[in-house]
Amino acid sequence: MEGHKQEIDQIWADLETTRIETEEQLKAFKIKMDELAKISLDEDQTPLQKKVATNTFFENNPEFQPWQGVVAQQHEQQELIVRVFQQQTEQLQEILAALQLREQE
């Protein structure tokens, strides 16, 4: 957790040194951040598809690379949640099947 906080602190430090001097630069920055957020929040993509799309985003936008570690960690957490949910679903299906067998007896 401490490493995660240090990484976020470094991102903010990098952001503070990034000069956004014009309204056009600010608009471009916001557009790119929205693009990154859409990738992360797209529920129609699997975690692997999100990871590939995010890596492509960072390759095409090197100025955003300080965020890459944080985003990667979020994707790992999402993958873990999906795996746990799948395991729980399988367990519930097994329980349901066992209950149905009992009812038939």
Query: What's the pLDDT score for residue 2?
Result: 58
Q: Quick one: angle between helices 23-41 and 68-104, nearest 10?
A: 20
93 — pLDDT class (breaks 50, 70, 90): very high
* Number of folded domains that form the chain: 1
Mean pLDDT for the stretch of residues 69-76: 78
> CA-CA distance, 90 to 20, in Å (whole number)?
50
Residue 67 exposure: Cα atoms within 13 Å on the Cβ side: 18
Query: What whole-number distance in Å separates Cα of residue 84 and Cα of residue 89?
Result: 9
pLDDT in tens, 2-56: 555 666 666 666 665 566 667 777 778 788 888 888 887 788 888 788 888 888 8
| Mean pLDDT, residues 90-105 | 89
Query: Over 60: is that where the pLDDT of 83 sits?
Result: yes
Two tokens, residue 92: 């519930």
* pLDDT classification of 66: cutoffs 50, 70, 90: confident
Work out the burial of residue 22: count CB atoms within 10 Å of its CB; fewer than 13 is exposed, 13-18 middle, 19 or more buried. exposed
Residue 94 has a pLDDT of 92
Answer whether 0.85 is exceeded by the pTM: no
What is the predicted pLDDT for the residue at 87? 92
CA angle centred on 50, ends 44 and 52, rounded to 5°: 135
User: Which residue stretches of 61-105 are H helix?
Assistant: 68-104
Query: Which residue segment(s) compose the domain that 16 sits in?
Result: 2-104
